[in-house]
Structure 1
Amino acid sequence: MNTVFEKFLSVLEKIANTKALLALKDGFVLTMPVTLVGSIFLLVANLPITGYSDFMVAHLGENWNVGLNQVSGATFDLLAIISVVGISYYYAKAEKVDGISCAIISLVSFFIVTASSAISEGGEVVSSVIPKVWTGGQGVITSIIIGLLTAWTFCFFVKRKITIKMPAGVPEGVSNAFIAVIPGFVIALVSMGLYYVLHNFDTTLTEFIFKVMQEPMQSLTDTYVGGIIMVVLCALLFWMGLHGPNIVMGPILPILTANSIANGALAEKGPLTVAAGAYIMTPQVLDYFVKIGGTGITLGLLIAALLRAKSKQMKEISKLSLLPGLFNINEPVIFGLPIVYNPLMLFPFIIVPVITFTIIYLAIATGFLAPFTAVQVPWTMPPILSGFILQGFKGVFVQVVIIVMSTIVYYPFMAMQDRRLYEQELAASKPKEEFKTSIVVE
């Protein structure tokens, strides 16, 4: 069994460390600064406080939030563009190939296969424009596919030296530009062929992928069962010593982000509800509720330990881990207690996130909380504060319920772990006491 288990972990590690997945993860991380900046402006335009909008209209006029919406639109609506650039850049960098040239060619390929016209409200076709609808959340899957495929093609040509070679002494920038010509030409040619074929069917690759792949994937990830699978895998892999969120969320995060952007677009048309077609599963559900204190919601374990622990190890680990835990960093307790490969902690480490996900899923499905839009805060934002910013006092209430629940569930398991550690500490100190006693008697 140990051999099978080790082989399973080895396979997971190899998958997690493939160049494609690492490029996807690192490339999509590039969108975070932009989305956080956009979130600040979007949050100011839509603070979850009753009467806030009416107050601003009364004092600043009907168009008080035009500039704020312009900034949020200029950030979230470029999500696919940033993704395709970042993914292709990091893939080429991992292959030790010029990343900038690769990223530029990938961007060109993305624009070739994307619509270059839009229909006005009057039904007129407007040419030579790039519709933002396809450069934002709805173009995310296309950006991933284009980013990976064009980067692979670019690296294939360059590593096999199927390029234009410049003589020695030519500046590196000029040399790289000429190296990119042949792979760039091939990529552009293939992209043009795809555009031409799909244009005959009155669509584009971006639209086709969105309808055939992205919409079904968004619907699948939005189910309760799909969410439970994500939550369980993240916790289980972390218990095995692997970074579960990095492995699971690498390919899933772009989909969840697209869900939140779609919710934002829906909110502009009217009340945002699940009944109106809003998605429940967004990054905020996992980052600020299911991962309070980190994967496994170990903040509840720390609180339980601080309330009752007797062993020195449990007390010290809890004290040292509390401050990082408040900022959703829980590696100190996961590897220090440890939770990793600890059979006693496996059940609560998985069941607490499952219960938490059920709570937040029902809260949104029943309308107690509104579905999340593109508004985000840094993932290190402490609970309570993040709940208030995202959902007002209702968000705070749900986070408090989750923390209390996690403390109650972890408590008996913490007590058993603490008892074992306390007995070990007593056993370790007993020989020393006997030795001292024998010296006194003599």
Structure 2
Amino acid sequence: MAEQKQSSFGAFINAKILPPIMKFVNTKAIVALKDGMVYALPFIIIGSIFLILNSFPITAVQEWFKDIGWSVFFNQAYQTTFAIISIWTVIGIAYVYARNEKQEALPCGLTALSVFLLLQNLVVNSPLVSAMGKDGAGITDAAGKVVYTGTQVAEQIDKLPQVIQNYLTSPVTGAINMTWLGGQGMIAAIIVGLLVGWSYTAMAKAGWKITLPEQVPANVANQFSAMIPSGVIVTVSMLIYAFFAKAFNTDMLQWIYDVLQAPLQGLSDSLGGALILAFMVVFFWFFGVHGGLIMGGIGGAFLLPNTADNAALLAKGELTLQNGAHIVTNEFYNNFINLTGSGITIGLLVFTLTAAKSVQFRSLGKVEAVPGIFNINEPFLFGIPLVMNPWLAIPFFMTPVVVALSTYLVIYFGLVPPTGVAAPWTTPPIISGFLIGGWKMALWQAIVLLISVAMYWPFAKKYDKYLCQQEAANEAK
């Protein structure tokens, strides 16, 4: 009867719930978003490596790098990879959109980058503004040591004529603001990438292009084909920039951040956001749909900016919740919600390797042993299977939720630090914890593994007994 109810419920989900969700997930925009953001991942990982070196979890090593002057080089590598995540995002999304529409993709991606830069004020504050005053950062040398305090800087500036003071503290024009190239520009980058991808391909399909004679080399002709769509998009973007400047005395990126990104990041960074994310990953997987790809693609739009914001704080040595650090980041998702694979199935693996009596469990445990260390658990998802399996549904659904809740709380109460760097998602547990948050994070990951064992063990034991009975019945036939 229970299995019949489960089958009826599964049929309802597959017939009524999943089709509209999958239709949404497979729209052109969502596919471009999901696949386009992947282009940023290598730079996030590479930049994180240098950020880890610059903020090494062992204080003595960190200080040694500063003393020998290498911290500035590590920071340079971080600033040109992870810190400009929005550039990789806007190019990647527009590129994938055009590629999927069978259009010349690179010109579309470069047009999106041009628009992304055009829509922001090319102005940055004078570094003296943040250096001056009692709470100012002061002036540092190449190794990051303060050579002039904020008070000392202010005292020296005050001795100068007012005209020179105004000149020194006025904003610097003609400069690209690094703030918008990082996490704070992510939602704007997504919007620009999608709109440019859509409008560029629409014009290209409509034949808005300059056609050159056949004798002209293809690589040259392709660039002329891109000229009209790119020119129209850039012109419209200039008018949008002018509208925001004249009407609101701001730029579009600042407006998007204030109206959209800040509220959405707040929602994603909440306890409720963490629990929904943890539940939805296994919800999709339970019905045979790749929950990791779906939630990683959609959630990444908000989680990656959270990680980037934390990385910027870590680079300044200010990664604390009091300074605005986020709890729920992309690393929270990868290294806790999906630790050892969707459903956090390490507990099930431990049972199959140490206590299972059925041939099916023991055999699949051996197959999963190595992949499980590297956070890959498809052998369990489809081999046991966990998909549509009522025996293991409770721990499969609840383990990620319990881990998301407890991890949020230990970070919230300061027992474990927030994460500011990324590690490859295949990095084994405990090692990944150390890399992204030091020994405290590594210790907490070890505790999470024990939570998984405790959650799965009683249910796996009952299911193993059922499998043994099935195997015995089959042998008796």
Q: Same fold (TM over 0.5)?
A: yes
Cα displacement (A) at 1:10 = 2.2
Partner of 1:436: none
Q: Distance in 2 between matches of 1:271 and 1:367?
A: 14
Residues 323-359 of structure 1 deviation map (CA, whole Å, 9 limit, x = unaligned) = 1011001111100000001122221111000111122
Q: Which of 49, 57, 69 in structure 2 is aligned with 1:40?
A: 49
Cα displacement (A) at 1:53 = 3.2
Residues 128-175 of structure 1 deviation map (CA, whole Å, 9 limit, x = unaligned) = 211111111111111100000011001111112122223334322222
Q: 1:78 to 1:268 in 2, by over 3 A?
A: closer
Residue 108 (1) aligns with residue 114 (2):
yes
Residue 333 (1) aligns with residue 333 (2):
no
Q: Distance in 2 between matches of 1:271 and 1:151?
A: 37
Q: Distance in 1 between matches of 2:401 and 2:417?
A: 20
Partner of 1:437: none
The answer (yes or no) to whether the contact 2:83–2:312 under 8 Å persists in 1 is no
* 1:233 counterpart letter in structure 2: M
Residue 53 (1) aligns with residue 59 (2):
no
Partner of 1:435: none
Q: 1:141 to 1:222 in 2, by over 3 A?
A: same
Q: Which of 418, 435, 442 in structure 2 is aligned with 1:371?
A: 418
Residue 90 (1) aligns with residue 96 (2):
yes
Q: Which of 15, 27, 40 in structure 2 is aligned with 1:31?
A: 40
Secondary structure in structure 1 of the residue aligned to 2:124:
strand
Partner of 1:417: 463
Cα displacement (A) at 1:290 = 2.0
Correspondence 1:211-250 to 2 at 5 A? 211-250=258-297
Number of residue pairs the alignment of both structures matches:
427
Q: Distance in 2 between matches of 1:175 and 1:181?
A: 10
Secondary structure in structure 1 of the residue aligned to 2:349:
helix
* 1:9 counterpart letter in structure 2: L
Q: Distance in 2 between matches of 1:103 and 1:379?
A: 27
Partner of 2:157: none
Partner of 2:302: 255
Q: Which of 362, 368, 371 in structure 1 is aligned with 2:409?
A: 362
Cα displacement (A) at 1:364 = 0.8
* 2:341 counterpart letter in structure 1: G
Q: Distance in 1 between matches of 2:21 and 2:233?
A: 32
Q: Which of 120, 130, 146 in structure 1 is aligned with 2:176?
A: 130
* 1:166 counterpart letter in structure 2: L
Q: Distance in 2 between matches of 1:143 and 1:99?
A: 17
Cα displacement (A) at 1:123 = 2.8
Partner of 1:72: 78
Secondary structure in structure 1 of the residue aligned to 2:392:
helix
**Normalising by the residue count of structure 2, what TM-score does the alignment of the two structures yield?**
0.86
Report % sequence identity: 37
Residue 395 (1) aligns with residue 441 (2):
yes
The answer (yes or no) to whether the contact 1:304–1:408 under 8 Å persists in 2 is no
Partner of 1:145: 191
Range 191-200 or range 256-265, more displaced: 256-265
Residue 281 (1) aligns with residue 322 (2):
no
Residue 311 (1) aligns with residue 317 (2):
no
Unaligned runs of 5+ in 2: 1-7, 129-167
Q: Please provide the CA RMSD for this pair.
A: 1.6
* 1:174 counterpart letter in structure 2: V
**Normalising by the residue count of structure 1, what TM-score does the alignment of the two structures yield?**
0.93
Q: 1:262 to 1:4 in 2, by over 3 A?
A: closer
The answer (yes or no) to whether the contact 2:211–2:225 under 8 Å persists in 1 is yes
Cα displacement (A) at 1:285 = 1.1
Partner of 2:155: none
Q: Distance in 2 between matches of 1:343 and 1:336?
A: 15
* 1:26 counterpart letter in structure 2: D
Unaligned runs of 5+ in 1: 432-442
Cα displacement (A) at 1:252 = 2.0
Range 405-414 or range 271-280, more displaced: 271-280
Cα displacement (A) at 1:54 = 3.6
* 1:177 counterpart letter in structure 2: Q
Q: Distance in 1 between matches of 2:441 and 2:13?
A: 43
Q: Distance in 2 between matches of 1:248 and 1:145?
A: 19
Q: Distance in 2 between matches of 1:96 and 1:351?
A: 43
Range 23-32 or range 116-125, more displaced: 116-125
